Amino acid sequence: MPRARSRYAPDRGLTGRMVTTMFLIGLLYVVFVGVLLAALRGSWPIILIITGGMFVAQFWFSDRIAAYGMGAREVTPEQAPELHGTIDRICALADMPKPRVAIAESDVPNAFATGRSEKTALVCATTGLLRRLEPEELEGVLAHEMSHVAHRDVAVMTIASFLGVLAGIITRIALWGGFARSRPGNDPAGILLLLIPLISAVVYAISFLLTRLLSRYRELSADRAGALLTGRPSALASALTKVSGQMARIPTEDLRKAEPYNAFYFLPAFSAKESLGRMFSTHPTLEQRLDQLSRISTDLSR
């Protein structure tokens, strides 16, 4: 995993988790495809073409699809001077190239970053966020999002989620199409085919948990790196508190539309209250994030 070439504080914990997640996801991917090839011997060219094609599509186009799904519209400095000005200041502080800048027409106060690399990166803020935050708070949020670009964890999350998507698709095909109906029950290949839905479900569950663990840590890492870069953890804490409070005033229908993209957002559309729900959450709790920022503020004041 290449190190971030910027002034953002490096995070060895994040790097280690990204490498571990990618290794385990890759191992699951190899096992999964191996099982499919063993079960569907005569169809191996189709399997390789489909899985390979989906991987390429996921890697090259997923960021554009996500940006489109969240309504991101690229804007010029003339169209959004304050937003561009904030991004320019962060880029100067971090010594990194400027990403594309976008705005999403949504009252849900949020921001996100997409892209496989710094060259293809896009940072987007919603109109709801721009309307509600003060300049220092907005800078804290955007510094958080730029950290995702600098540390390249956006690309890792995109790739890591691929196997879970593929396993889910195969599970549905296996259940709806009835792979093993044409084979006798005592045929080893038929038995193996019967196991495909089960194996797919296990692979999906493992990849889901791995990506959720990585997602929660990377949000804490981005909070930490963004606060250290700007030197104003209190501004980011204020933005977190304000946005979290405003979420409760957003119509549920709008939050439901945003929920599928929670892993990309600065704050999730819905926050889990129960301890079990937090295990599957894409973000750490607000209390954890504020506590970390409070410690950083104390350290910086010394």
CA atoms within 13 A on the CB side of 27: 8
Catalytic residue among 145, 219, 253, 259: 145
Amino acid at 99: P
Angle at alpha carbon of residue 111, lines to 236 and 260, rounded to 5°: 125
**DSSP-assigned letters across all residues of the chain:** -PPP-SSSPP-HHHHHHHHHHHHHHHHHHHHHHHHHHHHSGGGHHHHHHHHHHHHHHHHHHHHHHHHHHTTEEE--TTT-HHHHHHHHHHHHHHT-PPPEEEEE--SS--EEEE-SSTTT-EEEEEHHHHHH--HHHHHHHHHHHHHHHHHTHHHHHHHHHHHHHHHHHHHHHHHHHTTTTTS-TT-HHHHHHHHHHHHHHHHHHHHHHHHHHHHHHHHHHHHHHHHHHHT-HHHHHHHHHHHHHHHTTS-HHHHHHHGGGGGGBSS-SS---SHHHHHT-SS--HHHHHHHHHHHHHHHH-
Find out whether 130 and 116 touch, Cβ atoms under 8 Å.
no
136 catalytic per annotation: no
Longest C-alpha distance within the chain, in Å? 73
Can you tell me the distance from the alpha carbon of 20 to that of 26, in angstroms, rounded to the nearest whole number?
10
Positions marked active-site: 145
